Amino acid sequence: MMIGGKIQEMEDDVTVEEYLRKEVADWDDEVKCVARFKAFSGQRSDWESLYVFWRDLILKVARHLRIFIIRPSQVKMWFNRGGLVPLCLDQVLFEMYAAGELLRNLGVADPASGWVSQMLWRVVNLGGLLKPSTQEKLAEDYYIIPVLLKEKALQVVQALSESHWTASCVTTWRKFQEISGGLKEAHAVLNHLCEHGKAKYLVTNKKDLMEGVKVSLSERALSGTTSLDFDVLHLISTVEKLEHQLNVIDQRWKRSRASALASLKLGNKQVALKCSREMKLASLSREKCTALLNRVEEVLGVIADAEASKEVAEAIRIGTEAIKENGINYDEVELCLQELNECIESQKQIDDILGANAAGAEIEDEDIEEELKQLELNFVEVPTQTSSGVDAVVAGTQETADALSDSLSNLHLTHHARKDPKAKHPVESMGASSKDVSREAVLS
């Protein structure tokens, strides 16, 4: 584990070095590097900008690495330049901690512990017993970045939402750790969700110890846990165990098959026959395990469908109550929907007519301006004389307006007709006004 952790840190350092060169354009500038790597001195106003630079850069690197739990020594390795480390990093981290932008991991209550332990941690935190008083350097420990913790919690909820279509879901603690990225990360995410009423820790000791988490996948907070949640946790845990058993059986079958083939090549039929029997037993075990897994998944599917149906029924009930409270009946709703569909269809027909007319009149802006100037000169020279070109434009415009008016007259605008059957149809007045406007536009 220690060797694997060191290798991972070395890979992260290489990734961070490349990222810094992309994020900070003058990262390799020696003059600016000396200014940035110096320690803070003087009043806060003297080094405030440098502090903001390093604080934001720490957040960016952590987000780039997709982590929200850091250690001071780890941060120093990010910015190590040939053995040179920024002298101000200790104070930057301390200032972040004092401002609440870093949270010590010891200050996060474990949701899996009892309520007495959680209350004790809250008292300790409120009393400031975990805050350094006079020191200017953080102890070597794990620290949580609250902003990135919130982002990670949203990602965990989103990941669970992709495999569930209900308002809440139950998952095993092992699966929750896997999605969160580790044990420490899972505890921090669970604590964050529990503080906002979005998750509950589940544990049962019926036969074996089983731990799980119930997470809200909607905007609403969890109301609580029920016996069904623990039953679902037991079923999901059984599914995970069966899936693991299937993987073990498959691996055993592959080994037996490889041994059988090797024995046949060597001419050892007895060993090959023994391996074949093991393959047969593995196949039978796999069939039984698969059948049981399908039955459990079927039960989980029935439960999920029942929960979804319950949510739909609840939504229908709320909608019915809202309609009654606002004095709306179903006939009025149906009538409004029908009128809306008719208006949409009418608008489509209008768009088709206007689009057809516009498609045949693709003229360059320069040509239009030149034509207008020519018309103005003609009107100035002969104010009382009307050219044949203008008459043609008027005639064409009138034909277009007539066609648009006839098309609008054929539309069924039932909303206006229902209100005043004796009133003049609004489409006719629209057509008439369109003609007048067209004539005025041409003659002006």
Q: How confident is the model at residue 194 (pLDDT cuts 50, 70, 90)?
A: very high
Q: Does the structure show a pLDDT above 50 at 17?
A: yes
Q: What is the mean pLDDT of residues 111-133?
A: 47
Q: Does the structure show a pLDDT above 60 at 147?
A: yes
Q: How confident is the model at residue 303 (pLDDT cuts 50, 70, 90)?
A: confident
**What pLDDT does 330 receive?**
53
Beta bridge partners of 103: 144
First to last CA, the chain: 87
Q: How confident is the model at residue 387 (pLDDT cuts 50, 70, 90)?
A: very low
**180 vs 408, higher pLDDT:** 180
Q: Does the structure show a pLDDT above 60 at 205?
A: yes
**What pLDDT does 331 receive?**
63
Q: Does the structure show a pLDDT above 80 at 294?
A: yes
Q: What is the pairing mode between strands 103-104 and 168-172? A: unpaired
**404 vs 92, higher pLDDT:** 92
Per-residue pLDDT reduced to its tens digit, 413-430: 444 444 444 444 443 444
**What pLDDT does 58 receive?**
96
Q: What is the mean pLDDT of residues 5-31?
A: 76
Q: How confident is the model at residue 61 (pLDDT cuts 50, 70, 90)?
A: very high
Looking at mean pLDDT, say which of 51-60, 344-353, 403-412 comes out highest: 51-60
Q: Does the structure show a pLDDT above 80 at 394?
A: no
> Encoding tokens for residue 172?
């095993």
Task: Report the alpha-carbon angle 160-164-167, nearest 5.
Answer: 95
Q: What is the mean pLDDT of residues 237-244?
A: 91
Whole-number Å distance between alpha carbons of 10 and 287: 45
Per-residue pLDDT reduced to its tens digit, 81-95: 888 899 999 999 999
Q: Does the structure show a pLDDT above 80 at 278?
A: yes
**What pLDDT does 130 receive?**
47
Q: What is the DSSP string of 330-388?
A: HHHHHHHHHHHHHHHHHHHHHHHHHHHHHHT----HHHHHHHHHHHHHHHHH-SS---H
List Cα–Cα distances, 161 to 117, 164, 170, 174, 404, in angstroms: 31, 5, 11, 17, 51
Write down the mean pLDDT value for the chain: 75
Q: Does the model's pTM come out above 0.85?
A: no
**335 vs 213, higher pLDDT:** 213
Q: Does the structure show a pLDDT above 50 at 441?
A: no
> Encoding tokens for residue 356?
């057809």
Question: Of the given ranges (15-19, 48-52, 204-208), which has the lowest mean pLDDT?
Answer: 204-208
**What pLDDT does 53 receive?**
95
Q: Which of 434, 318, 329, 444 is nearest to 379 (CA)?
A: 444
**What pLDDT does 397 receive?**
46
**What pLDDT does 75 receive?**
93
Q: Does the structure show a pLDDT above 70 at 242?
A: yes
